[in-house]
Structure 1
């Protein structure tokens, strides 16, 4: 009886060893371990028969059973470690990064259409001898209004049109203050372009509280309105193409005299009349005029010696006409679908 039980334990070693080698996963290995070492496993079945042995035989069976358990636990442990290592290697292999493959491309951005048009406007004037000057967004009443011949009772000074920070400080309503600061800093002759952001209390399909403007001016001896027309004609042909017609309409600005509104032939209908140009065939693009003598006096220039002209335009307005955009607010909504078109 004892020998048969010991032979069974020996057979379990060989049987388990072969089964362990065939185990392809940790789950299979655990099933084999339970079959041999579990509470209802084969080794336990042998030990249940210890009651049929004599007192002298029981220790021998116990010793053989313990040796079998140690042997089985060892092969299960080794196979388990091997399977775990194999699984880890497979996982690493599946997650391995092939450094020879091209990397994932980051979506390439582009310039905002307002930035693009502002740069195009600047480049159009550089060949004409203009230089670029900048000024602060927060201005004093003197530079934004008083020095530009805008009287105290002018509507532009009202709260509904201007963002006041205090009684004397405000967000500039145009880039014209750069004209005053530049003339204070330099002596004529001057050909200056002043792009920048401006602020007004207004918001609808053609107005926003913050927008971009380009101011330009020329100061020298014997500057004429004809020269102003020549400069603006060159600019319009550079931006909108050769052959685009211009017209100058009499207007009023406090800082220029005489003053004019400058229109171009509608770029949408070619001057035939459409909804964009309100059937007039013309589109307003900027304001211009000869610099008022009072402006020269504010900066210490002698108006009997020097003359000059100035012009100003909204960059968004030019962009809307150039690209056929109907709602100014689209420039500021950060809609990638819109921005990707430029």
Structure 2
């Protein structure tokens, strides 16, 4: 995201249109070992995008190049550390989760530290967040309304318990189960009552299908071993016997082709959702004005008067528990040419204010 995105692009509509109170930013910590497969896939997709960009530079359009370039964007540790430092100086709480940020968001919401968890990841509900807000950080250009999902109402509508909120559709820790979509997952859960029994059912069907395929292979081998049959015709000659087509046995459907991957540690994944690695939320702090000046002015080149004005505005907003757009605190304006700026200064009085003409 970076400093620019944090100041001017992150959650613009949500904070402005919905009069949101002070936000709390949560950063990912160390990912669980079970997530290594997903991380490898993401790295692979970035490498593919890099190759596609090189090809687009030779044969594609500027739009193709830009699209492939965006797919390679990766938030670095340095980006995160700069954003954390800026948030701390502004007095806006931020938490670095020991593990998954979504799990930490859910913990803060359950503890009453925040109103809701904001994420596009539906796994946040499985971490037991009371309220999930989606499309919270979409830009104004996308014009997507914020979607509020209340866990209790969702479970009631689905006639499920929290423990039944299964991961059959796949998550960052497990591959999806082949042949199982949303409707089938809900149907299986209602029929069998628990994820454990659903897994037993699917594995049973997989065993039946494997046995059926093995039987078909044996029959095929026997037929091939019998070889070609011969008969003696009316002239006393030995000729191939006419082939008699055997009636094929109807093939059975084995639970719609459902198949669980060979390595599918669902019990470990479920533990990560039920008892994730999280910490308690931190208390709000007032902005560190001098720290903001040192960081934004001395190190990042912002104008000091604008930073101090923004810090004062931020302090007032935080005190009122009302948070506006972050880019409202530090507005970036185009530079004024030196001659024009001098002419403007000449029009001002010694006190720094524009002199009024005498009537």
* TM-score category, normalised to shorter length: under 0.3
Scaled by the length of structure 1, the TM-score of the pair is 0.20
Select the structure that is richer in helix: 2
Structure with higher RCO (Cα < 8 A, 6+ apart):
2
Scaled by the length of structure 2, the TM-score of the pair is 0.19
Select the structure that is richer in strand: 1
